Chains A and B, each alone.
Chain A
Amino acid sequence: MTTILDHLPQQLASNRDRAFPDLVRAMQDGVYSGVLQFTRNRHDAEDVAQETFVRVYRALDGYDADRIRSLQLRPWVWTIALNLCRNRARTVARHPEAPLTTDRVDTHIDAASEAVDTVSLEEWRHRLAALSAPQRTAVVLHHVVGLPYAEIAASTGRTESTTRSDVRRGLARLRTLIEEEAT
């Protein structure tokens, strides 16, 4: 399946400023959905997603056309996003006095569906937190974002076979957790 992403490196190389909004449009839902699982709340996820694309743009600014043409866009963008998620988590850990806000279930919010949504996000974030970092990253990128194993491997710097087993073990662990919740 070819997508807009296949043509983007060429377009970014010839006219970065014109093609860049298409890159954001093509990847923003995926980046946001993934980052939502790696951060504490929507607010952090929005910040990290925004910062990811701003960094992507600045990095493109420093690359010559050949380098841009040969970029594997999704893994490259995810390398940047994962770094920012790690930095964010580290800052949060270092400043425990900062209010530890998760997405509150705010009864005043007009849309009841948003409250339900928040509950299910919270629930999964809690479960995923029990996984090792490489497992969590691989599971989210594969099953939430929909990245193929090879692209996950390219963005984390691990091998494809390690990535497969990270996903497999991650799912097994989640299954155990859910079964424990039920008993």
Chain B
Amino acid sequence: MTSEETIAEELATLQRNAPRDLLDRVMRGTDLADEFTEIDGPTGPAYVAWNGRGITAFVPVDAVGTPDAFKERHPREAFHVDAPPPSLAKHLDRAIETGRLGRLPVDLSSIGEFQRKVLEKCAEIPPGEIRPYGWIAREIGSPGAVRAVGTALGRNPVPVLIPCHRVIRTDGRIGNYAYGSPMKRALLEHEGLDPDAIETSAQRGVRLVGSDTTGIYCFPTCRHVKRITEAHRIEFRSETAAQADGYRACKVCRPAA
């Protein structure tokens, strides 16, 4: 005879373990976990990670090693996959090719407001051009925070894509890079710049370049400098010197506030 106690006992045997991958599926569904893969970066292979909000990491393969090593150092759970989803892959390929973020989404949601402002400003620097740390500080309305800008860029989770390699020292030297200055130089070279020439001209004290036909001064890598012919090219050591000679700041590269 079936008693209600035995029914209760039988019902208790209907307990099952959740499928082993349930937590993984939930983590991906909530964007708490990222996916990552290897891609060809401008100066070599790199790991790139993303979630539903956008790209979360870019790390040269040389700097970390195996995929497991990448997982280990990634701040969130990460799953190794073959390729990014097509919607992301399209914009990622384009960003690598052009040196501009374009429509590639980057997930900066876990980043503080100051660092986010620094990174967003940095992303505006066009390929083949460089700006000093102080320029970012001034552009984001914190002219005194030059050192903090350096720190924020040093912790850029998506270098190369957000081009912190295009930010240099105030004295015009190329300076440090999270993955070593040789990589910074290689990235600049890849964009058509000459790192040795940048260093030499910095040592000569050149900070700004003007044209005596327009009376405008720019950062030396501004796209408008490229049109200045040798005969009309004037070099300045400082904004004060340029302004003293009656020159005004370029409105595109904005070397002065």
> What is A's interface to B at a CB cutoff of 8 Å?
17, 20-21, 24-25, 28-33, 36-37, 46, 49-51, 53-54, 57-58, 120-121, 124, 139-140, 143-146, 171-172, 174-175, 178-179, 182
Contact = CB atoms under 8 A, between A and B. Distances in A.
Nearest to B31: A57
A144 B11 contact: yes
Size band of the interface chain B makes with A:
20 to 34
Given A21-B27, A50-B29, A57-B32, A36 B16 contact: yes
Interface stretch (B18-26, B56-64, B188-196): B18-26
Interface in B1-59: 2-4, 7-8, 10-19, 22-23, 25-27, 29-30, 32
14 contacts: A20-B30, A24-B23, A24-B26, A31-B18, A33-B14, A33-B16, A36-B14, A46-B22, A50-B26, A51-B29, A54-B30, A140-B11, A178-B2, A178-B7
Nearest to B11: A143
A66 to B, nearest CB: 22
A179 B2 CA distance: 7
Nearest to A32: B18
Contacts of A33: 14-16
A171 B12 CA distance: 13
Given A57-B32, A172-B4, 12 more contacts: A17-B32, A24-B22, A28-B23, A31-B18, A36-B14, A36-B16, A46-B19, A120-B13, A143-B8, A144-B12, A175-B4, A178-B7
A171 B9 CA distance: 11
A37 B14 CA distance: 9
A24 to B, nearest CB: 5
A54 B29 CA distance: 6
A115 to B, nearest CB: 15
A57 B30 contact: yes
Nearest to B77: A21
B14 A29 contact: no
A172 B2 CA distance: 10
Contacts of B26: 24, 50, 53-54, 57
A21 B23 contact: yes
A81 B4 CA distance: 27
Contacts of A145: 15
B18 A29 contact: yes
A57 B3 CA distance: 41
B18 A28 contact: yes
A175 B2 contact: yes
Nearest to A60: B30
Contacts of B13: 120
6 tightest A-B contacts by CB?
A143-B11, A32-B18, A28-B18, A54-B29, A57-B30, A53-B26
A82 to B, nearest CB: 17
A175 B3 CA distance: 7
Contacts of B17: 29, 32
B108 to A, nearest CB: 15
Contacts of A174: 7
Nearest to B32: A17
A124 B8 CA distance: 12
Which has the most chain B C-beta neighbours within 10 Å: A53, A58, A178? A53
A62 to B, nearest CB: 13
B18 to A, nearest CB: 4
A85 B7 CA distance: 24
B188 to A, nearest CB: 37
Contacts of A120: 13-14
Contact of A171 (B7, B16, B29): B7
Contact of A32 (B3, B11, B19, B32): B19
A33 B29 CA distance: 21
A48 to B, nearest CB: 11
A31 B2 CA distance: 28
